[in-house]
């Protein structure tokens, strides 16, 4: 008899087997057969094609809920469980999900919200996943992603990273982030295991679990690797680690050089990927054998066709000529949604996405991003926020030569520096008067003895608000 997880209309397929699928830091191990049982238990309470909001954490029940939705032909709407209650309520009111899977004490509970669905239409038959748009942190605009998009993206990432069944991916990226969820689906596609821990890389216990469980694959965004560098990662001995992957924006040149040198020295693969939520994640990649020699490049197209077009929409093939990146392929999403009423809409992109990023080729056909049609500030904020979620909201741990750890400085101290620089640059470009106010507030806070961590959080809130307002203009 066909398992529901084997249906072609599901975003991912799970095959029951004795291979390890999940290893948790409390010692629990689940085979793929065990995972299928848990997925069946979850999905057995929910009618097919229901919209399920999952409040994501790094705990096993959240992972099971995400996998169940994608393998049982449900529509997944993942939302960070760390959001305040008012923002979650706005999302619930806006998208009117049928069910809510949320943390409750030490476990998770399923709330039936169908009574408040109102006149929200049934979701389109192709819709499988709703993800926050690239650079729209905190804004309810979502990307509508099909099951075919998820399958194509998972296969492309698994291929780019060379994932194999013996791999063990350590899950640190949030499950509401496009690359976080993509690494889960790619790992399942390859038949690999997923390591689950609530610990973050700033905690000793994370690295103890990393070594004990034999983590071989890890992922992040450029800013999280910058923070890992500050944590002393490049001095760590991690014999099981095979692949370091990153997606999102362009890497700073110096950071890429350092990690490429580390990978070469330690015999590991550094694979850099470029993408957007609107393409389900992956659009281009720079392979491990090119990471050290193509500093600053996003590589070549992956998972589809990537090309440059000029202002007249003519295709650019000559090196050194700037054009907009346009991606075509099976990972290109259906379009956007801004409320539950949009969930019934079908494919509005036809498999082609204008990225808004400007790039040029070098003589060998490798791409280099040189600017944005959309403002780069929002993307940078998203990376900073994601890195904080990935690394935790506590202290940065600085390692000495004996690999001991000490509380040295707050993560938000670094973020305060970065955000103030971005505020001053961005606001000066738009409104000098607002720039004087922003800088004046910062100096005023310092004069009254307000800590840098508070300034960082205030600036972060200001920037996120500005981004949201610009999207409403």
**pLDDT tens digit string along 215-251?**
999 998 888 898 899 989 999 999 999 999 998 777 8
pLDDT score for 423 = 45
pLDDT score for 458 = 52
Distance CA 415, CA 461 (A): 12
| Alpha carbon separation from 392 to 78, 214, 254, 409 (Å, rounded) | 19, 22, 24, 13
- Most confident among 68-72, 415-419, 421-425 (mean pLDDT): 68-72
* Band of pLDDT at residue 381, cut at 50, 70 and 90: low
Structure tokens of 240? Answer: 């099981």
Distance CA 307, CA 328 (A): 8
pLDDT mean over 355-374:
90
| Residue whose token pair is 């169908």 | 114
Which range, of 35-39, 354-358, 399-403, 434-438, averages the lowest pLDDT?
A: 399-403
Q: What is the DSSP string of 392-427?
A: -SSEEEEE-TT--EEEEEEHHHHHHHHHHHHHHHHH
pLDDT score for 208 = 96
* Band of pLDDT at residue 372, cut at 50, 70 and 90: confident
User: Percent of the chain scored above 70 by pLDDT?
Assistant: 75
pLDDT score for 1 = 31
Tens-place pLDDT, residues 133-175: 754 444 578 999 999 999 999 999 999 999 999 999 998 789 9
pLDDT score for 242 = 98
Is pLDDT above 80 for 212?
A: yes
Which range, of 159-173, 206-220, 369-383, 419-433, averages the lowest pLDDT?
A: 419-433
pLDDT mean over 299-322:
95
Distance CA 418, CA 403 (A): 27
Burial letters 91-127, b for 16+ CB under 10 A, else e: bbebbbbbbbbbeeeeebeeeebeeeeeebeebbeeb
More confident residue, 372 or 425: 372
pLDDT score for 20 = 97
pLDDT score for 202 = 87
Distance CA 223, CA 391 (A): 10
pLDDT score for 106 = 87
What's the whole-model pTM score? 0.80
Q: How many CB atoms lie within 10 A of CB 303?
A: 27
pLDDT mean over 422-443:
49
N- to C-terminal Cα distance for the chain?
A: 53
* Band of pLDDT at residue 369, cut at 50, 70 and 90: very high
Is pLDDT above 80 for 415?
A: no
Chain Cα centroid distance, residue 47: 28
* Band of pLDDT at residue 111, cut at 50, 70 and 90: very high
Is pLDDT above 70 for 380?
A: no
With a CB cutoff of 8 Å and minimum separation 6, the contacts of 359 are: 298, 308, 322, 323, 324, 325, 367, 368, 369, 370
User: Percent of the chain scored above 90 by pLDDT?
Assistant: 66
Q: Is the CA virtual torsion 56, 60, 64, 67 positive or negative?
A: positive
Is pLDDT above 60 for 399?
A: no
């Amino acid at each position: 008899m066909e398992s529901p997880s084997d249906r072609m209309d599901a975003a991912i397929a799970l095959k029951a087997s004795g291979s390890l699928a999940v290893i948790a830091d409390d010692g629990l191990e689940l085979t793929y057969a065990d995972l299928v049982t848990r997925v069946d238990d979850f999905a057995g309470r929910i009618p097919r094609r229901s919209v399920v909001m999952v409040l994501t954490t790094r705990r096993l029940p959240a992972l099971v809920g995400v996998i169940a939705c994608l393998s049982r032909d449900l529509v997944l709407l993942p939302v960070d469980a760390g959001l305040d209650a008012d923002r979650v309520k706005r999302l619930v009111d806006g998208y009117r999900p049928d069910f809510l899977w949320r943390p409750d004490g030490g476990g998770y509970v399923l709330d039936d919200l169908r009574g408040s669905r109102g006149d929200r239409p049934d979701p389109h038959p192709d819709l499988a996943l709703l993800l926050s748009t690239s650079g729209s942190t905190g804004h309810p605009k979502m990307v509508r992603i099909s099951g075919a998009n998820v399958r194509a993206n998972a296969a492309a990432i698994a291929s780019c990273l060379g994932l194999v069944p013996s791999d063990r991916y350590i899950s640190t990226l949030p499950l509401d982030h496009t690359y976080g969820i993509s690494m889960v689906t790619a790992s399942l596609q390859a038949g690999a295991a997923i390591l689950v821990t609530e610990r973050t890389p700033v905690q000793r216990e994370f690295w103890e679990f990393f070594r004990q469980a034999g983590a071989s694959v890890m992922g992040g965004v450029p800013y999280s690797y910058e923070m890992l560098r500050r944590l002393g990662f490049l001095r760590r001995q991690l014999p099981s680690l095979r692949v370091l992957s990153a997606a999102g924006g362009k890497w700073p040149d110096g950071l890429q050089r350092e990690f490429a040198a580390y990978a070469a020295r330690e015999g590991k693969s550094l694979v850099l990927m470029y993408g957007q939520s609107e393409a389900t994640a992956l659009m281009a990649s720079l392979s491990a054998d090119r990471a050290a020699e193509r500093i600053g490049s996003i590589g070549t197209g992956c998972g589809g066709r990537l090309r440059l077009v000029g202002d007249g929409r003519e295709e650019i093939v000559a090196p050194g000529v700037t054009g907009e990146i346009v991606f075509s392929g099976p990972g290109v999403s259906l379009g956007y949604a801004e409320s539950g009423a949009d969930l019934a809409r079908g494919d509005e992109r036809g498999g082609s996405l204008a990225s808004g990023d400007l790039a040029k080729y070098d003589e060998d056909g490798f791409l280099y991003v040189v600017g944005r049609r959309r403002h780069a500030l929002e993307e940078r904020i998203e990376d900073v926020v994601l890195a904080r979620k990935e690394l935790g909201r506590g202290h940065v741990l600085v390692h000495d030569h004996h690999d001991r750890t000490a509380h040295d400085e707050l993560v938000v101290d670094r973020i305060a520096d970065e955000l103030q620089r971005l505020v001053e640059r961005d606001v000066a470009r738009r409104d000098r008067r607002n720039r004087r106010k922003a800088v004046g507030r910062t100096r005023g806070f310092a004069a009254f003895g307000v800590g840098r961590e508070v300034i960082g959080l205030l600036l972060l809130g200001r920037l996120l608000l500005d981004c949201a307002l610009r999207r409403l203009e």
